[in-house]
Structure 1
């Protein structure tokens, strides 16, 4: 019995085979192709419900391990991570320590993103925020859920390339030191546009505070350009009113009428 190193297919000498009249159906390969075919047939005929977790994982591993029995590895990974969900939600550094190939890690990322897109609301039902009035209507309809008190709250509206909302969240505002975190969040969401709202506690907004806000807005706008992320506006919420720093496409602190 010899092995073709390129294809991984075993070839058996005909001298060891019985005559055609006595032989059952001949298998052309001994590398698990028949098993894989049966697994695919079960999936197509009976659906994913007919497969156990390790079998689903086994089939996923087919995509990155073309010629090898993946059942032992699938069972080992389920035992190590507790479940298929535990494996798919694990961090990259943990997956790497488990000796999982980079190709399979990339496949896991693809599965995560695909799942998130499928369960996300239809993009056409998401709020549209191309104009100032659209943004204000949304902010008034969905006010900040936390108490401002003395906290410096920065609300982040991440938008897609059609100016529709992807995600609405808030962080503690640390000025320019917050920019790195904002960019990381935008990249994870594949956001193309961003609107930031700074909720100022109290009724005072000094000249120094205005200067710091302008510096933050300009630095944010400059930094995000390197990541194809457009900052549509930086808004100040003060004394129950909204003020735009980007009104008329220039940095100006003006009250919107």
Structure 2
């Protein structure tokens, strides 16, 4: 079997490309056993089938994982870096970003339907999905009502690879605008290590000091990274 310049496979012996049976088997396994039965590269292959209806997608799927490390990191990777991988164009990037957006919408829906403090694992899953693999620091605030239901989920600032400017009075001002009784702070460390810095600790305590006299409780500050997450409450830093 050979391949034409436009990326389409020419038929080999028997009139079928060599990967034809592989696609059928992979789809059947997915239908019968679910995504748990597939390796990360196989799940990526499934996504790429629609973009490349007549091309072997396994090499592209493996190249993406080799570059970015995991299925989640592929979906979260910046568009420009995805297109650095040979064989990846706008159509592939659009498909990957659509799946990523769908995953975030689902995770956000899971959070918004629950009382946050009674479904902490769901909150953590959402925060990691939204921020853990970003290449820039982001500072997010979850605004809660008196029953710890989610009022709003907002990204307040986006910074550089290792710094995001945060202004405690602006954080509290926004909480008052939303009539929020409590807040959860979340930010990411693109380095992958979620260990809080001295500046993180100082900023958190400043926000708590400004918020408390106004009746706004700081429930927690979560830092997420590729290596996991840390909770300021769990570390007894607040």
Q: Tell me which interval the TM-score lies in, with the shorter structure as reference length.
A: 0.3 to 0.5
Question: With CA pairs under 8 Å and 6+ residues apart, which has the higher RCO, 1 or 2?
Answer: 2
Larger Rg: 1 or 2? 1
TM-score (norm 2): 0.45
